Amino acid sequence: MSIKRILVADDEESIRWVLSKSLTKQGYQVDLAKDGKEALLMSRKQSYDLAVLDIKMPGITGLELLSKFQEECPQALIVIMTAESSMKNAVEAMKRGAYDYLTKPFDLDALDAIIFKAQKASKVSAEVSVLKQEIKDHYQLERTIIGQSQPMQKIYKTLGKIAPSDITVLIYGESGTGKELIARAIHFNSPRLGKPFIALNCAAIPGELLESELFGHERGAFTGATERKIGKFEQANDGTIFLDEIGDMPLELQAKLLRVLQEKEVTRTGGNTTIQINTRIVAATNQDLKSKVQQKEFREDLYYRLNVVPLELPALRDRREDIPNLADYFLTKAHHEYASPA
């Protein structure tokens, strides 16, 4: 959103006139309101990109005007004008969603600086929105996961239900069935889109190093720990962590993972501070975890915490009708990557 149309509302005619003249000269379309009631009436008839509102006008309180204006014109950035004696209200207005404030008397350069900052913020916000949409489009289930067979249709249906939630998912499947691809599709079709997606293969890292990778460590926690390390759970905060080959996680680490699931907090190795996290967990395995539980090789309580929604991925031999589509997909991908005829 770029700022083109601005509403100025103030009960002092001189302020309305000065702001209108300055903003119009800079190329903005400017409408003027003499009080809060008129400002609200205008917001119902016209869409605004920015509103400069005096916090103290007759007929309606500044905070009430802010609230009602946000309802009528939710896309508008709101700048509050306030006298020094009303700073408390200005701070409260910022808490309620005002973009910025001006303290009277102010010079026009101060307003210009706020508008410049708002233009820049709007541009970044628009670019982020476009990027989020591109990522979301790229990770649409039907585009990301190739196959129209009956087994895959069941997968799509399940993913459509679980992706928007924060529910823990345990993906079962042989090597090569696309477990990480499914985990990414879950993340990028969830409200956590735009937040981190962190993947870690529990079988690829020795047990003594896996704890540090997952939970981090403090400086001096062990020999060679020369500086603090932020673990994967902290890195994935507000996003999703994908724990592949969870069945290979050592039992002592399983207890720590269980605590993360239960308490939503981690403690770095060698540290005493608990760190609150908000991370969705998606795990995967190519093993029979129920059998490992019976053999005392996997914690039963952790198994039930992870196995909230089990998702079994079919092997290619069980969906042979998808082979032509997969072949087309990989040929097209190779063509784009290497610019060779497919």
Q: What is the DSSP string of 8-40?
A: EE-S-HHHHHHHHHHHHHTT-EEEEESSHHHHH
First-to-last alpha carbon distance for the chain, in angstroms, is 41
Q: Which domains are delineated in the chain?
A: 5-133 (3.40.50.2300), 144-333 (3.40.50.300)
Closest by CA to 43, choosing from 81, 76, 80, is 76
**E strand spans, 168-302:** 169-172, 197-201, 240-244, 265-267, 274-276, 280-285
Local confidence pLDDT in tens for the 342 residues of the chain: 578 899 999 989 999 999 999 999 999 999 999 998 999 999 998 989 889 998 888 888 778 888 888 888 888 888 988 876 667 877 888 888 888 888 888 888 888 998 888 887 767 666 656 655 655 555 555 555 656 667 777 887 888 889 888 999 999 988 888 899 889 989 988 889 889 999 999 999 988 789 999 998 888 888 888 888 999 999 999 999 999 999 999 999 999 999 999 999 999 988 888 999 999 999 999 999 999 999 999 999 999 999 999 998 877 676 667 666 656 655 665 666 666 554
Burial class (CB in 10 A: 0-12, 13-18, 19+), 94: middle
Q: HSE, CB side, 13 Å, CA atoms: give it for residue 311.
A: 30
